[in-house]
Structure 1
Amino acid sequence: MWDWFSTDWLSWQTLRSFVWADKIYLYGIAGIPFLFLLRWLFYNRGQQKLGLSLSGPQLKTRWVSYLRFLPPLFFILGIAFILISMARPQRVRESKEQFSEGIDIMLAMDISDSMLEKDLNPNRLDAAKNVAREFIKGRFQDRIGLVIFAGESYSICPLTTDYDLLNEYLNDINSNMIKTSGTAIGSALATCINRLRDVPGNSKVAILLSDGDNTAGNLDPITATDLAKSFGIRIYTILVGRDSKNVKVDESSLREIAKQGNGQFFRATDNQTLKNIFGQINRLEKVKIKDNIYRDVEDFYYIYLNWAIVFLLTAFFFKNTFVGNILED
């Protein structure tokens, strides 16, 4: 009950520690001296004063004369603490809870023989693997899976947040893993859909990386794209490589897949461009983080209101009791 009756509440350090709900009242403290100036101008100057010669030691007379300032001093303190109370000093304790919604990403990588072309360094497949590692390193709380395809498609790594395991699978990828020749883009998309369709959440993405047109498989890529849309899966397509004497790249089908799949089409003609493409996808597909902030607000206005009452009562005591007569004599 008497916790408020402590001089610690009056220290500058304590006052600085507060958050003020109505800070504007604090500026009123600066106006208190003007009230006393006005009082002096319109009241004291109109009073007739009689000079008296006081007997006794001069030091005692001087000391007693200072006591007449006590009533106005306590009155000033009372008004100041009323203003402090009205400014509502508070202490706010905040706690934050973060909920992150990761993105589910299936990375489908073409490993057909044409991916061994050396227009990228050291070749298209290894360049894609290197950049994929950097892409995985930059993700946060996303589940990522791997699909490889040539004339057929296989899922070699399910959706996982174990990025070390994912990199091990990525390191093992080579063009000899699928013997069937060709490029089954439709089948690769279907494999991605099978991994993503039953996954809860709204952030599902397939990234398809290839250097050619659909030349194998039984499923048309556009049909697979429509199926992906029905499951809320966005599709990004990356065309890797440049035209050469041995291999022609065809971007029309990959561009159409990205358009129909609510994603984007990219073309990588060198290592740096490929790296920049994965960087763009990294920025486009950000983890959604929701913050719930809880605030615990504790008011301390009553502390300073109690002090204000103490100071005003003290001023009243000095002014309107026999003590006041002693101070004025």
Structure 2
Amino acid sequence: MKHWYSPSWFSLQLWEQFRFTNPLALYLIPAIGVLFALRYYLHRTAQQRLNMSLDTSGSRSRSEGFMGGIVRTNQTLMSWLRFLLPASVFVGMSFLLVALARPQLVETHRQEQSEGIDIMLAIDVSSSMSEADMPPTRLATARRVAQTFVNGRKNDRIGLVIFAGEAFSLCPLTTDYDLLKQYLSELNDQMINTSGTAIGDALARCINRMRDPTTVPTDSMQTAKKRTKIVILLSDGDNTAGNLDPVTAARLAKAFGIRLYTIAVGRVTESNADAATVDEGILKTIAGIGNGSFFRAIDAGRLRDVFAQIDRLEKAPVRVVVYEDVQDFYRIYIYWGIAFLLLALLLKNTIVGNVLED
């Protein structure tokens, strides 16, 4: 910190950064100037003057004329010195008022706190997801949109389950979004050789990940119980494989307080000639049981809108904590005010304060 007598305390840049706790005190500074001006106006006719007559006629010597010029110069200097005392008092009182206004430098820090939510992505990687009715393929579009969804989340734990004729947990709940996006980028329809669509088994894998206490640190078990839990299941077909009925799995999810969102991807066709059919019946059913919503996405734009809508619906409350680092500098200007008032007291006991004012 700079010394109190440093000239930098009067820089315009520093004063623009100051926050004054009592700014009304600054308005008293012009009032003091008005009082001094009024005092000078009322007392100017009562001031004692020393009139000097200088005879500079031809009978005087040239040296006397020179002395007369010196006297006139001294009179001008003395007339200005008489303002030194009131100026010192004015400046001293002004600095004391600045100190009373309490100048501060404030540094603000914002911290966002959120417990976040748990999200499991269940993505169908069966052969029907390679259809090109959502260019380039259904799976490629779903993969890209899911990565964008992950990018928009904060403080949430997200996991990944893939399924076809079987279901596998590919990534546990994590906040390592880079790792999760890497898993998403590697999804393809060759990852599971078993044909079919095991929606019930996929839901079971998601439920197990969310209820597994080993995925949660011991000291945050109580917090984890309060976290919102959702499953986003993306598929293009009916349940045709697996060991667990999707309706039973949906009821189990509801019992654990897990909300289900289902997305049917692809265009509905009347035959299998051009594209694999999309059966949205079971997806609607389990979404209703799981207190969630069902969505239909026939193209990439609609799929992005669906994820954006889920993103808006499932937001954990965020508490914004604002910290202010406050530094007071009123003492600096108290020192300056006292210094100028002491100067005024010194001037009062000299010729400047006595002879010129009396």
Which range, TM-score by smaller chain?
A: 0.7 to 0.9
What is the rounded CA distance, in whole Å, between the counterparts of 2:137 and 2:353 in structure 1?
A: 100
Paired amino acid for 1:238: I
Unaligned runs of 5+ in 2: 55-67, 217-223
Paired amino acid for 1:171: E
What is the rounded CA distance, in whole Å, between the counterparts of 1:34 and 1:122 in structure 2?
A: 80
* Corresponding residue of 1:65: 79
Deviations 1:136-162 (A, max 9, x none): 455556543322223432223333426
Alignment partner of 1:311 is 2:310: no
What is the rounded CA distance, in whole Å, between the counterparts of 2:166 and 2:353 in structure 1?
A: 104
Alignment partner of 1:21 is 2:24: no
What is the rounded CA distance, in whole Å, between the counterparts of 2:136 and 2:335 in structure 1?
A: 80
* Corresponding residue of 1:47: 46
Q: 2:162–2:168: 8 Å Cα contact kept in structure 1?
A: yes
* Stretches (4+) displaced over 6 A: none
What is the rounded CA distance, in whole Å, between the counterparts of 2:231 and 2:15 in structure 1?
A: 57
Q: In structure 2, which of residues 139, 147, 157 is the aligned counterpart of residue 125 of structure 1? A: 139
Q: 1:157–1:169: 8 Å Cα contact kept in structure 2?
A: no
Q: 2:264–2:297: 8 Å Cα contact kept in structure 1?
A: yes
What is the rounded CA distance, in whole Å, between the counterparts of 1:306 and 1:122 in structure 2?
A: 75
Change (3 A) 1:185 1:168: closer
* Corresponding residue of 1:195: 209
Equivalent position SS for 2:186: helix
Q: 1:136–1:163: 8 Å Cα contact kept in structure 2?
A: no
Matches within 5 A, 1:107-126: 107-126=121-140
What is the rounded CA distance, in whole Å, between the counterparts of 1:297 and 1:176 in structure 2?
A: 58
* Corresponding residue of 1:147: 161
* Corresponding residue of 2:230: 205
CA RMSD across the alignment:
3.4
Structure of greater Rg: 2
Change (3 A) 1:53 1:262: farther
Paired amino acid for 1:30: P
* Corresponding residue of 2:35: 35
* Corresponding residue of 1:328: 357
Using the TM superposition, give the Cα deviation of residue 66 of structure 1 relative to its aligned residue in structure 2, in angstroms: 0.8
Q: Does 56-65 or 157-166 show the bigger shift?
A: 157-166
* Corresponding residue of 2:94: 80
Q: In structure 1, which of residues 165, 173, 183 is the aligned counterpart of residue 188 of structure 2? A: 173
Using the TM superposition, give the Cα deviation of residue 324 of structure 1 relative to its aligned residue in structure 2, in angstroms: 1.8
What is the rounded CA distance, in whole Å, between the counterparts of 2:168 and 2:13 in structure 1?
A: 67
Q: In structure 1, which of residues 252, 255, 271 is the aligned counterpart of residue 300 of structure 2? A: 271
Q: 2:126–2:192: 8 Å Cα contact kept in structure 1?
A: no
Paired amino acid for 1:299: D
What TM-score do you get using the length of structure 1 for normalisation? 0.81
Q: 2:165–2:242: 8 Å Cα contact kept in structure 1?
A: yes
Q: 2:99–2:334: 8 Å Cα contact kept in structure 1?
A: yes
Change (3 A) 1:130 1:27: same
Using the TM superposition, give the Cα deviation of residue 74 of structure 1 relative to its aligned residue in structure 2, in angstroms: 1.0
Using the TM superposition, give the Cα deviation of residue 46 of structure 1 relative to its aligned residue in structure 2, in angstroms: 6.8
Q: Does 73-82 or 220-229 show the bigger shift?
A: 220-229
Equivalent position SS for 2:230: strand
Q: 1:145–1:157: 8 Å Cα contact kept in structure 2?
A: yes
What TM-score do you get using the length of structure 2 for normalisation? 0.76
Deviations 1:33-81 (A, max 9, x none): 222233345x326737667236642111111111110121011112211
Q: 1:54–1:61: 8 Å Cα contact kept in structure 2?
A: no
Q: 2:132–2:138: 8 Å Cα contact kept in structure 1?
A: yes
Q: In structure 2, which of residues 265, 280, 283 is the aligned counterpart of residue 251 of structure 1? A: 280
What is the rounded CA distance, in whole Å, between the counterparts of 2:357 and 2:103 in structure 1?
A: 37
Deviations 1:272-312 (A, max 9, x none): 22233234334545577655444332222122122222222
Matches within 5 A, 1:280-291: 280-285=309-314
Using the TM superposition, give the Cα deviation of residue 28 of structure 1 relative to its aligned residue in structure 2, in angstroms: 2.4
Change (3 A) 1:90 1:211: same
What is the rounded CA distance, in whole Å, between the counterparts of 1:169 and 1:14 in structure 2?
A: 52
